[in-house]
Amino acid sequence: MNYEFLKNEDPDVYRTIAGEQKREAEGLELIPSENYVSPAVQEALGSIFTNKYAEGFPGKRYYGGQRFTDEVESLAIERAKELFHCDHANVQPLSGAPANWGVFAAWLEPGDTVLGMDLSHGGHLTHGAPVTFAAKIFNFVRYKMKDVETGEIDYDELRELALKHKPKIILAGFSAYPREYDYAKFAEIANEVGAVAMADMAHIAGLIVAGVAKNPFDYGFHVMTTTTHKTLRGPRGGMILSRGEVSSPLKAPAKTIENLPTLIDRAVFPGMQGGPHMHQIAATAVCLAEAATPEFRSYARQILVNAKTLADALMAGGAKLVTNGTDNHLMLVDCMRSWGLDGKVVEELLDSVGITLNKNAVPDDVNPPFRPSGIRLGTPACTTRGMKEVEMEKIAELILQTVKIAEGAPREALKERSGELKKVHSDVKALCARFPIPSM
Ligand code: DSN
């Protein structure tokens, strides 16, 4: 995009966009929840659909002028249903947290219990972390991994907790868990206690539709939430996918698992949101068509190959990974165990050489969230740029070199070593220059 109007009309905002564009182009993006959209997704997101109010759903709106909004939202819905193998898709949630709220609002009453993964074991903030508003309304009980060396979930504990607490929802999903779930076990336990089996697949939605990660719907799950901007490579947004009877959202159905699709539609609108973001929905439709292509399947396969290569190279260089590796696109390094440095220091150090990732808690972390013991990194974004195994080995080398510069050195001494950091930074820029970002 060349921003010819913005440049003249609002140079201050233009400067920030140009700055971000340069940062993205010259830096290595390893935050596992980030990615680069295609030029077509970006065009749809910047389209005039942003002008339109469209409360309601296709064919059932509260405002006139809906010919094209109906058409584009129906496209997104049908594409999502086909890709995820489900009966219904609500494509209106503004992002992942509202998508999770949509399911809670559809199915729970205040005080009801949800069984979700512990945050420090890889679960997500919106799965009931005590600081969230949801935790004030609902009762969240947490399950964990049985063994942090292998990452296996403690399914016996999960079943005991389910029998004891009688949750209304059993929630499988994560934002920092590098292994596959045993969805069949989750669904079996959910059925035993009459709970809805819900999967929050935000991180791996792209891997699921490409067939390189398991699809929870194939194992009896009832509902799945996701964001659209991570491995799915779409605009910032969310979706709720479900199985069951689809009926008109204009009439309240009985509260049965079979009626989840309609309960979810009513929970999203008018329950929680107003006008859907039609430009975002148009861009979602575009990314879903892209995700159905053979090129996207190769891309998803390469994400996994790259993640394994990067994980192996980091471990070979002495980094200690939680669960000793990865089955998906992300990995978690225990920085305290690896280098005696906390995650915040390592995040900042790597930022200074143009490598972006995020500090993250490790299981049962004794350090506080703002200075946790680990870092989280992943391969979706650099794989979009076309990087492969050889580049992953180079990235591991650059990370290890950077950390070695700081290892054992007091922070003040780092200034004296700025020449070495500058050298790594120029290697990072040289690598990035060979792999342009598609939407720039
Ligand atoms: N913030 C996202 C992540 O980084 O995993 C999840 O919402």
Catalytic-residue membership of 200: yes
Q: pLDDT tens across 169-205, in order?
A: 999 999 999 999 999 999 999 999 999 999 999 999 9
In whole angstroms, give the CA distance from residue 391 to residue 382.
9
The answer, yes or no, to whether the previous bond of 58 is cis (omega within 30 of 0) is no
Q: pLDDT tens across 103-140, in order?
A: 999 999 999 999 999 998 999 999 999 999 999 999 99
Residue 343 marked ligand-binding: no
Nearest ligand 1 atom to alpha carbon 96: 7
The reported pLDDT for the residue numbered 238 is 98
The reported pLDDT for the residue numbered 412 is 65
Pocket test residue of 119, 177, 230 for ligand 1, highest count of atoms within 8 A of CB: 230
Asked if the domains at 44-291 and 294-433 fall in one CATH topology, the answer is no
Nearest ligand 1 atom to alpha carbon 358: 4
Pocket test residue of 101, 117, 124 for ligand 1, highest count of atoms within 8 A of CB: 124
Percent of the chain with pLDDT over 90: 95
Q: pLDDT tens across 336-374, in order?
A: 999 999 999 999 999 999 999 999 999 999 999 999 999
Q: Which tokens sit at 51?
A: 């002008």
Q: Which residues contact 402 (CB under 8 A, 6 or more apart)?
A: 349, 350, 353, 355, 421, 424
Average pLDDT over residues 370-390: 98
DSSP three-state, residue 343: helix
The reported pLDDT for the residue numbered 426 is 97
For the Cβ of 120 lying below 6 angstroms from any atom of ligand 1, the answer is no
Catalytic-residue membership of 53: yes
- Is the pLDDT at 414 greater than 80? The verdict is no
Contact present, 224 and 242 (Cβ < 8 Å)? yes
Residue 123 marked ligand-binding: yes
Q: pLDDT tens across 227-279, in order?
A: 999 999 999 999 999 999 999 999 999 999 999 999 999 999 999 999 999 99
Q: pLDDT tens across 156-165, in order?
A: 999 999 999 9
In this prediction, residue 418 has a pLDDT band, given cuts at 50, 70 and 90, of confident
Q: Which CATH architecture has domain 294-433?
A: Alpha-Beta Complex (3.90)
The reported pLDDT for the residue numbered 411 is 66
In this prediction, residue 143 has a pLDDT band, given cuts at 50, 70 and 90, of very high
Q: pLDDT tens across 40-74, in order?
A: 999 999 999 999 999 999 999 999 999 999 999 99
The residues pairing with 197 across neighbouring beta strands, listed in sequence order, are: 170
Catalytic-residue membership of 181: no
Q: What is the DSSP string of 68-106?
A: HHHHHHHHHHHHHHHHHT-SEEE---SSHHHHHHHHHHH
In whole angstroms, give the CA distance from residue 377 to residue 351.
13
Which of 24, 43, 55, 70 is flagged as catalytic?
55
Catalytic-residue membership of 144: no
Q: Which tokens sit at 374?
A: 């680990």
Q: Where are the domains of the chain?
A: 44-291, 294-433
The reported pLDDT for the residue numbered 206 is 98
Catalytic-residue membership of 383: no
Q: How far is the CA of 202 from the centre of ligand 1 (A)?
A: 8
Whether the predicted model's global pTM rises above the 0.85 cut? yes
Residue 125 marked ligand-binding: yes
- Is the pLDDT at 410 greater than 80? The verdict is no
Nearest ligand 1 atom to alpha carbon 175: 5
Any idea what DSSP says for residue 269?
Answer: I
In whole angstroms, give the CA distance from residue 79 to residue 91.
11
Which of 29, 73, 118, 200 is flagged as catalytic?
200
CATH class of the domain whose range is 44-291: alpha beta
The reported pLDDT for the residue numbered 204 is 98
Q: Which residues contact 306 (CB under 8 A, 6 or more apart)?
A: 379, 382, 383, 387, 388, 389, 391, 392
The reported pLDDT for the residue numbered 417 is 78
Residue 119 marked ligand-binding: yes
